[in-house]
Structure 1
Amino acid sequence: MPPFFMNKRLIVLLVSIILLVALIGFSLRERENISWPEQFVKDIVGFGQNIASKPAGYAQGLIDNVQDLTNTYTENQKLKARLEEMALLETQVTDLSRDNEELRSLNGIEENLRDFNVVNATVIARNPDQWQESIIIDKGQVNGIKTDMAVQTASGMIGRVKDTSQFTSTVELLSARNANNRVSALIQSEESNVFGLVEGYDLEREELMVKKIPFDQEVQEGSKVITSGLGGVFPRDLVIGEVTEVTSDEYGLTQTAYVKPASSLYDLEHVMVIERVAAGQDEIEEDAQGEEEEE
């Protein structure tokens, strides 16, 4: 006999390899049910994994709890510091508000561009074909809603009342493609305030465009944009968004600021209609006409 076949170890190894390859091929093929040896092995392995996973999970839970306690302590320290700052700011705001009221009283100033009343409303309809154009809310003339009233969410301004009925109103969003949809805006700067007009919406960037900014005014990225209150319609200090980029026009005479809206214009459910308390442009014009007629 050849010496190869006389080596029992080699024969056993060869047979073992053949059986192993056969078993692998058998286990890899698609079957509805696995064999009982595979079931037995899987049950044994699963039982062992279940036993091993419980202490490991318990230990991991202890580690996570310790980390959570550490993070909670750190966050608690930060919150305490913030609360102290908030208490100081509240005291300062109260003092400034009191001083402001006293000064306004001494000067006979009764109205403020920042004064407004709020009417809460809910979005009840929105045309899919005009998703970026308008929404319909469940408040109308019986609730004191009038055209050109500002509309905002808790995050910031989203548009104005376009038209009203007795019980509902249509709100034109800031993203609407309407050349007459303008808002007098103020860009807050460290040195001085910069004024411009919200005119247009860039669909690709999903950002508002504040135009008519003088070329010699420096506008920094990250600056907050609010309503100026000078348009005679909207109150002052309604948040519009934040500047992301500033570009010059082709002639270099004015600048355009791209502004990320403070409030999402896509997902809207609950809104607030803002009624300006200070005299609007219409009231000012009526007063002026009345004085001319008296003269």
Structure 2
Amino acid sequence: MFKLFNNKRLFILLITLVMFIVLMGFSLGSRKSLTWPENFLRDTTGFVQSLFYKPAGYVAGLFQDIANLHDLAEENERLKLMVAQYTREKAQYNFIKSQNESLQKDLNFREAQKNLYDFELHIAQVISLTTEPSNNSIVLDLGSKDGIKPNMSVISTEGLVGVISQVSNFTSTVKLMTMMDVKDPNSQPAIAATVQDKEDNSFGMIESYDAQTGMLQMNKIPVGDPIAVGDTVISSGIGGMYPRGLTIGKVVDVKVGDYGYTSTATIDPLADFQDWKELFVVFTEERVE
């Protein structure tokens, strides 16, 4: 009986060895398709690998995304700093550019006036502006130490603004042309005026300002005066208060007086009387120390 059992064991061992040899033959041989045991083993192995690979890939991707988010946050902070710095530099550039353009405009204006007329212009910064009806004036940062004297004319690049009314060591007060009223002895003095390019044939006195219309009134214009709508009115220099050639405004209307002996013209002042940052004080030869 033991002999039979041993024979069976030997038989099973031989059968197993034969099957192993056959299987190895199939595996090592040139084949286009796999056997069903190989397919089963490969599919099972792939399935088990996928169970571990995908979660591991998700975890690795999560840590990579977190690292990318951190890098992105740092880059955003750098970009914000760069934008803030650019904004500051752009604002500074615009300010310097505007200031340079303003100074160049002032320089060109001064040179043009000096070439046309016998006076010099000194630039003054506006310190304050008072718009009270009874005291419409501005304060400049130039005073007696700078050679400023009462009754000096003050202009902008557009036109006549007013005259110096009070002077201290370091500042001066300008009485604006909008305070002009021939009936008020404390107002700005009347202006002897003429028409540009018609200086020898035109004359009148600018004596008042209408706050409601924003217009100046030019009176005492002789009959036959060639003044016309659209003309530019300038100071004539007669009387010595205002130098010759200061631009005042444009003629918008001319009417004959009640008795027909003189005419009256309405003048639109070219100076805007607001938002001034700097003005010019007119220095003539007799006023320069």
Normalising by the residue count of structure 1, what TM-score does the alignment of the two structures yield?
0.53
Q: Is the 8 A contact 1:132 1:175 kept in 2?
A: no
Q: Is the 8 A contact 1:177 1:201 kept in 2?
A: yes
1:263 to 257, 271, 276: 271
Between the aligned partners of 1:169 and 1:270, the Cα distance in structure 2 is 13
Q: CA RMSD in A?
A: 2.4
Which residue does the alignment assign to 2:179?
176
1:147 aligns with 2:147: no
Q: Is the 8 A contact 1:126 1:136 kept in 2?
A: yes
Which residue does the alignment assign to 1:115?
118
Q: Residue 260 of structure 1: SS of its match in structure 2?
A: strand
**Quick one: which amino acid aligns to residue 175 of structure 2?**
E
Identical residues among aligned pairs (%): 35
1:187 aligns with 2:190: no
Structure 1 residue 158, shift from structure 2 partner? 0.9
- Equivalent residues, number: 169
**Quick one: which amino acid aligns to residue 241 of structure 1?**
G
Q: Residue 203 of structure 2: SS of its match in structure 1?
A: strand
- Are the structure 2 counterparts of residues 220 and 189 from structure 1 closer, same or farther at C-alpha, using a change threshold of 3 Å? farther
1:211 to 219, 224, 243: 219
1:235 aligns with 2:243: yes
**Quick one: which amino acid aligns to residue 240 of structure 2?**
G
Structure 1 residue 189, shift from structure 2 partner? 5.3
Structure 1 residue 191, shift from structure 2 partner? 9.4
Normalising by the residue count of structure 2, what TM-score does the alignment of the two structures yield?
0.54
1:278-293 equivalences under 5 Å are 279=286
Structure 1: gaps spanning 5 or more residues: 1-92, 98-112, 281-295
Between the aligned partners of 1:260 and 1:131, the Cα distance in structure 2 is 22
1:10-89 equivalences under 5 Å are none
Larger Rg: 2
- Are the structure 2 counterparts of residues 191 and 201 from structure 1 closer, same or farther at C-alpha, using a change threshold of 3 Å? closer
Which residue does the alignment assign to 1:287?
none
Q: Residue 133 of structure 1: SS of its match in structure 2?
A: strand
Between the aligned partners of 1:252 and 1:275, the Cα distance in structure 2 is 39
Cα-to-partner distance string for 1:134-175 (whole Å, 9 max, x where unaligned): 111111101100011110011111111111111111111111
Between the aligned partners of 2:255 and 2:219, the Cα distance in structure 1 is 10
Which residue does the alignment assign to 1:245?
253
Structure number with the bigger relative contact order (C-alpha 8 A, sep ≥ 6) is 1
- Are the structure 2 counterparts of residues 190 and 139 from structure 1 closer, same or farther at C-alpha, using a change threshold of 3 Å? closer
Q: Is the 8 A contact 1:131 1:266 kept in 2?
A: no
